[in-house]
Structure 1
Amino acid sequence: MIDNEDVEDTRDDTDDEEDFLSDSNEPAFDPRKINIATEQNSLATIVMMIKDGIIDLAPEFQRNPGIWTPIKKSLLIESVLLGIPIPAFYFDTSESGHESENSYEEKWLVVDGLQRLSAFKEFIIDQTLELTGLVLLTDLKGLKYHQLEKFLQLKLNRYQVTTFLIRPNTPKEIRYDLFRRINTGGLVLNAQEIRNTLNRGKPAQFLKKLAEDARFSALFPIKNDRMADRELILRYIAFYNKPYTEYEAPFAKFLDKAMEHISILKQSELENIENAFWQALQFIKDADLDINKKRPNKALFEVLCVLLGKLNTEALSKLKKNKENFIKAFNDIKSDKNSEFYKSTYEGTASKPSVLTRFSTIEALIEKYKK
């Protein structure tokens, strides 16, 4: 949800989050290509990997690692000291053994277990967590890691944890699905956070650049830290790069592919996307088009940004001259709740008929008023 205080325009919010399944009877991928290895590691090894940055607990795309209370963190430490098994950790090792600009790096992306790992870091590495709310080991209340007796420190370090590793040769389309199935703890990653996780580098940075630009953030002050702004922009990029007539459901996978595609675009192509975006936003701002600024209707946003952004200088100039008539016509079709266009922007927006309806309708409207 983009703005919990604003209840308008909500029916398109979950289409791309929940629409993972194709209408086809064919499986989404070959399950034989799933490659997940199981390892037993000591907690000391896991802590060392966190300290060395192999396991990164604070990447730009991740959930807030600090949503657990001190009591919940302390109870986790107590469970380990008591030898009670804790849930397994899941990591994506697809970036293992990749060369960075400066060095040869190994990275494990946290799929599930971020809150537990963060608790171990806070207690063992940072040594800022004081044990509290303990149920059985009450004599340890108020102690930090360095204040524990040596045998208890050794018990923590020798504790064995189960780790499941998604191997690099697992295809990306399978990794999307695994992230969605496995990620269950704390605050579950949403679809866009998963895309950012699996498309770090140029795709993630390009979306971040556009989302943080004042030309966008001032016009659409989206109250959200779950990448709703970046998903909104990705919808625009997806349809900018692929004709709407060629769209195929499911919508979530359409956006997955669009984000992957950014990685192979040339700088000139990225600049074209960016310039078209600013052109569209400027028109939306000048015309004060009603698509709800705090909680933008995603379907209206994408279609307006794509079609306005693709106008050449002459067509844009003519549309500006007829701006008042265009605005009135736009508001009329947008408010007709019995029309197919209205349904295509509020109900079942991820279906191909809805995509075709909303794009062709606005396309015809722009064509009429740019003459």
Structure 2
Amino acid sequence: MLMALIEEVQKARQDVVTDGYEMSLGEVINLYKDKELVIDPVFQRLFRWDDQRKTRFVESLLLGIPVPPIFVFQDDDGIWELIDGLQRISTVLQLTGDLDGERADELGPLVLNGTRYLPSLDGKRWNPTVGDAPDGLGSKLQIEIKRARIRVEILKSESADSAKYELFQRLNTGGASLSEQEVRNSIAVSINKDFYDWLIALAKHPSFVSTTRQTDTALEKEAGTELALRFFAFRLIPYQNGLDVHEYLDDALFQLASPDGINMADEAEVFTKTFDYLEDALGSSAFQRWNGSAFTGKFLMSLFEVIATGVSKNLPALEAVSPQERRQLIMEKAQSLPSDKIFSKNSGAGVRGTTRLSNLLPVAEGLMKP
């Protein structure tokens, strides 16, 4: 077993080809201006630092405090795509006035705050507002910032196709700044922009929003998009027993978004019919537990996994009956789930997500069969 693990490590290392060296921020700025360092516009939407955090980063540069490296992917033409370091590089570009795109227009010039060590930074910007106004940083400090050095870790094009996205995913989910799905969204754009737009649009379908009872916080963190992705993954991508749920969704995204992944028109029809039928039958109680007299409690992922997947796989039978019969069939199946032995055994509070998926997804179609 140990030899097998060693062989797996050696093989995985061959999939990732890297290099790295230090550069001045002035060199990084010039690469960006010359289009030799690319920041995907969707990544720019994730530029969330407030002015205080931006100021603290600029303070670190002025004080000579070491900053973490940035990670880039180098394509076959030598162009670098920023994988990690968005907040730091975008802060510098906003400060110097070199940040491009709609996000730059939205943000405007960066005006710094005072800090404990540098209180006189308050109100300072890269260039003075007019003439020799005292709100400019001045050439001496500008030069110091541009000469500050940062290490660049380079993932080369010889790496496996998935290495760029795997690296972005790992580097951007360790903190609280991005949710797992926000990272997946950025990856989806790089793989297949049409698929990304399609998934985002479906996540806003009225009956889907209603039945999944999404809060403003959930919407902000792309919870609806993740649920939409889960729906298609559960329907179309077999779950590998024991695989971490988020790794399963990452793998599913690669397969679904690939050029020959799915027929988006057909699957969109399945999606809308599934949630339209569920809303018609159950409304906003679609994924609440039946207590014997009413649907109560919070949204339950186990119910979403079984009911949404099961209904989608039984659409021909549900389409063949009248709307009234369909409503009754869906209602009865949803009410019967809590008392089903397989469902109750694999959906309790102490059941791991991996166990739940392994045991419930294969039987979802049967549990919801009319």
TM-score calculated relative to the size of structure 2: 0.74
Deviation at 1:65, TM superposition (A): 1.8
Partner of 1:109: 82
Residue of structure 2 aligned with 1:233, choices 225, 228, 236: 228
| Correspondence for 1:33 | 15
- 1:230 to 1:109, Cα distance in 2 relative to 1, 3 A: farther
Structural mapping, 1:7-26, within 5 Å: none
Kindly report the root-mean-square deviation, in angstroms, between the aligned alpha carbons of the 2 structures: 3.6
Counterparts of 1:354 and 1:204 in 2: how far apart (Å)? 28
How far apart are 1:310 and its partner, in Å? 3.0
Give the alignment's TM-score, normalised by structure 1.
Answer: 0.74
Q: For residues 362 and 78 of structure 1, do their structure 2 counterparts lie closer, same or farther at Cα, with a shift above 3 Å needed?
A: closer
CA contact (8 A) 1:343 1:354 kept: no
In structure 2, distance between residues paired with 1:135 and 1:67:
19
Alpha-carbon offset, residue 281 of structure 1: 0.4
Q: In structure 2, what is the Cα distance between the partners aligned to 1:77 and 1:322? A: 61
After superposition, where does 1:24-103 map in structure 2 within 5 Å?
27=8, 30-51=12-33, 59-60=41-42, 64-68=46-50, 70-93=51-74, 97=77
Q: Deviation of residue 278 (structure 1)?
A: 1.0
Tell me the amino acid that sits aligned with residue 249 of structure 2: L
Aligned to 2:313: 310
Checking the alignment, whether the CA contact within 8 Å between 2:36 and 2:80 is kept in structure 1 is yes
Which letter maps to 2:110? L
Matched, 1:301 2:293: no
1:277 Cα offset (Å) = 0.8
Contact 2:55 2:112 in 1 (8 A): yes
Question: Is residue 2:160 matched to residue 1:171?
Answer: yes
Deviations along 1:86-141, one digit per CA (max 9) or x if unpaired, are 221223446x749xxxxxxx462332x33322322332117723332234444444
CA distance in 2, matches of 1:311, 1:140: 64
Moved runs in structure 1, 4+ residues, more than 6 A?
none
Deviation at 1:291, TM superposition (A): 0.4
Secondary structure of the residue aligned to 2:263 is helix
Could you tell me how far apart the structure 2 residues matched to 1:340 and 1:267 are? 32
**Is 1:274 the counterpart of 2:282 in the alignment?**
no
Cα distance in structure 2, aligned partners of 1:30 and 1:160: 31
One-letter code of the match for 2:86?
L
Q: What amino acid is aligned across from residue 242 of structure 1 in structure 2?
A: I
Q: Which among 358, 361, 367 is matched to residue 360 of structure 2?
A: 358
Deviation (angstroms), 1:57 = 5.7
Q: Residue 331 of structure 2 aligns with which residue?
A: 327
Cα deviation, 1:234-275, whole Å, max 9, x if unaligned, reads: 11111222356x767343333222211223355982111111
- 1:188 shift after superposition: 4.0
Q: Using a 3 Å threshold, how does the CA distance of structure 1 residues 319 and 54 change in structure 2: closer, same or farther?
A: farther
Give the stretch that moved more between structures: 31-40 or 291-300.
291-300
Task: Report the Cα distance in structure 1 between the residues aligned to 2:245 and 2:367, rounded to whole angstroms.
Answer: 25
- Kept in 2, the 8 Å contact 1:235–1:255? The answer is yes
2:253 aligned with 1:259, yes or no? yes
Conserved in 2, the CA contact under 8 Å of 1:92 and 1:108? yes
SS of 2:96's partner is helix
Deviation of the 1:159 alpha carbon? 1.9
Q: 2:126 is matched with which residue?
A: 145
Q: CA deviation at 1:208?
A: 1.4
Q: Distance in 1 between matches of 2:358 and 2:77?
A: 44
Aligned residue-pair number? 331
2:169, 2:261 → 1: CA distance? 31
Identity %: 23
Q: Residue by residue, what CA displacement relative to the aligned partner does 1:164-223 show, whole Å, maximum 9, x if unpaired? A: 122233224544543344337764433323323333223322211211333433443523
Does the 8 A contact of 1:124 with 1:145 survive in 2? yes
Gaps of 5+ in 2: 99-107, 128-135, 289-295
The structure whose RCO (Cα within 8 Å, separation 6+) is larger is 1
Give 1:74 shift: 2.3
CA drift of 1:85 comes to: 2.2
Q: Distance in 2 between matches of 1:294 and 1:227?
A: 22
- Higher share in helix: 2
Secondary structure of 2:243's match? coil
Contact 1:75 1:133 in 2 (8 A): no
